[in-house]
């Protein structure tokens, strides 16, 4: 099961003709300041940092891949927010499994899926009031926590046992 991807635009290494219209609705953060991105792959997670030309690290994000796959019965309620999504193809069955308590990480991941707040008007009004900022960020930031990323099971699962 595919849970999504993170999209990065990094056309800012030359520092030439930098521009920002506004914060695109799918974007968490954006800035028209030159810099580059370092991606650190650590087996089951990847962390990206944006390093400005001044040396300031202005953004850090982490995508974590849960690698656990489930048993035949889909009995994998191990309080891992990802596993119940990857266990069963039957949505009714999935709902019966008590989900793990919502964590900041899953909130970050699901925020866009439920309500991608269009930013333009609010940000434009604020920009008009305060002068256009070089950096646009969501007014309410979710806590800086890794984005959980559910692992797509590679092996086809057998049918769920019916009894």
Partner 1 sequence: MLSGDDSDHYFVTAPPVGSSQSFTAWLIGDSGSGNASQYAVRDQMLSYMSGDPPDLVLHVGDIAYPWGTIPNYSNYYFDVYADILEKRVSWPTIGNHDAGYSFPDTETGPYYQAYSLPTAGEAGGVASGTESYYSFDYANVHFIVLDSQFSDRTPTGPMATWLIDDLAATTQDWIVAFWHHPPYTHGSHNSDNAEDSQARHQDMRENIIKILEAGGVDLVLTGHSHVYERSYLIDQVYCPACGAAPTTRLRATRHWLRTAAFSTAATATRRRRRLSEEPQPQHARRRGLRRRRSRRR
4-23: which residues touch partner 1 (CB under 8 A)?
Answer: 4-23
CB of 55 to partner 1, least distance (A): 4
Residue 106 CA neighbour count, 13 Å, CB half: 14
What is the per-residue burial (b if ≥16 Cβ within 10 Å, else e) of 41-59? eeeeebebbbebeeeeeeb
User: Closer CB to partner 1, residue 63 or residue 87?
Assistant: 63
Binding mask 33-52 for partner 1 (x = CB under 8 A): xxxxxxxxxxxx-x-xxxxx
> If DSSP codes are grouped into helix, strand and coil, which group holds residue 111?
helix
62 binds partner 1 (CB under 8 A): no
CA triple 37-29-124, angle to 5 deg? 140
Question: According to CB under 8 A, which one of 93, 108, 126, 161 is a site residue for partner 1?
Answer: 108
Indicate the residue among 154 and 161 with the shorter CB distance to partner 1.
154
Compute how many residues bind partner 1; rule: CB under 8 A.
75
Tokens of 90: 């039957």
Asked if 91 interacts with partner 1 (CB under 8 A), we say no
């Amino acid at each position: 099961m595919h849970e999504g991807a993170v999209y990065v635009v990094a056309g800012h290494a030359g520092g030439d003709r930098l521009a920002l219209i506004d914060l695109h609705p799918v974007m968490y953060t954006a800035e028209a300041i030159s810099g580059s991105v370092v991606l650190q792959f650590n087996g089951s997670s990847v962390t990206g940092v944006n390093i400005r030309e001044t040396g300031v690290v202005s953004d850090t994000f982490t995508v974590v891949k849960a690698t656990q796959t489930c048993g035949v019965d889909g009995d994998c309620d191990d309080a891992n927010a990802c596993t119940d999504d990857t266990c069963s193809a039957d949505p009714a069955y999935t709902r019966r499994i008590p989900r793990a308590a919502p964590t900041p990480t899953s909130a970050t991941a699901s925020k866009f899926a439920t309500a991608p707040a269009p930013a333009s008007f609010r940000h434009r009004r604020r920009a008009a009031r305060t002068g256009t900022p070089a950096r646009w960020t969501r007014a309410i930031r979710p806590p800086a926590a890794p984005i959980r990323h559910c692992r797509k099971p590679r092996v086809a699962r057998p049918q769920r046992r019916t009894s």
